[in-house]
Chains A and B, each alone.
Chain A
Amino acid sequence: GENVEQHPSTLSVQEGDSAVIKCTYSDSASNYFPWYKQELGKGPQLIIDIRSNVGEKKDQRIAVTLNKTAKHFSLHITETQPEDSAVYFCAATTGNQFYFGTGTSLTVIP
């Protein structure tokens, strides 16, 4: 089955700086890669996703890049704000079952 690894497990940045979270996957058949943000006591919220036929996608301060050859994808958050502090999860799937990374706890220091 698919194995998704996520790094780093914790990340602290100064407000206004950029944050980058990286994930690798093992199954070359995976074709959909969502990113979720989870705040304390809440369910994961989809923030951005990318499909295997695209190399990069951007939505305001958030961008995701995908390298199918190397089987890795990354989340980029620019101009970070304190409200970006949360746990971020990457996932990969070939269909309906999502395989999640272990999460990155992001802290944005005001």
Chain B
Amino acid sequence: NAGVMQNPRHLVRRRGQEARLRCSPMKGHSHVYWYRQLPEEGLKFMVYLQKENIIDESGMPKERFSAEFPKEGPSILRIQQVVRGDSAAYFCASSPPGGSYNEQFFGPGTRLTVL
């Protein structure tokens, strides 16, 4: 059973460009979470999605950031008009359907560098 997959692993963008980060959850998992990790810091929650639904986006910046988890295909975190402050590692996690207390399994991350 493959783990959580993220691509690309490394992404370089110039200021003003768009960044698209992809996450494929573990097989059988229907819940996806996105976290951002700045250098030397812990992970900060951004958004929680289920198929075709955003459940909690309280950690997402109000502008330029969006996320989706379509019925088919991976979850996408999209950052428009990137700025240098967006440089970070972005991690996706997934958990199986069910109630609370579910374990979250993390992918290897996408390291975004904005020049």
Contacts and interface: CB of A to CB of B under 8 A. Distances in A.
Interface of A: 6, 31-32, 34, 36, 42-46, 49, 51, 89, 93-103
Interface size class of B (residues with CB under 8 A): 20 to 34
Interface of B: 4, 6, 31, 33, 35, 40-45, 48, 55-56, 58-59, 91, 95, 100-109
A102 B106 contact: no
Contacts of A51: 101
B102 A96 contact: yes
A98 B41 contact: no
Contacts of B55: 96
A103 B105 CA distance: 18
Nearest to A51: B101
Nearest to B41: A102
Given A42-B108, A43-B108, A43-B109, A100 B103 contact: no
A46 B107 CA distance: 11
Contact of B58 (A42, A95, A97): A97
A45 B56 CA distance: 23
A43 B4 CA distance: 10
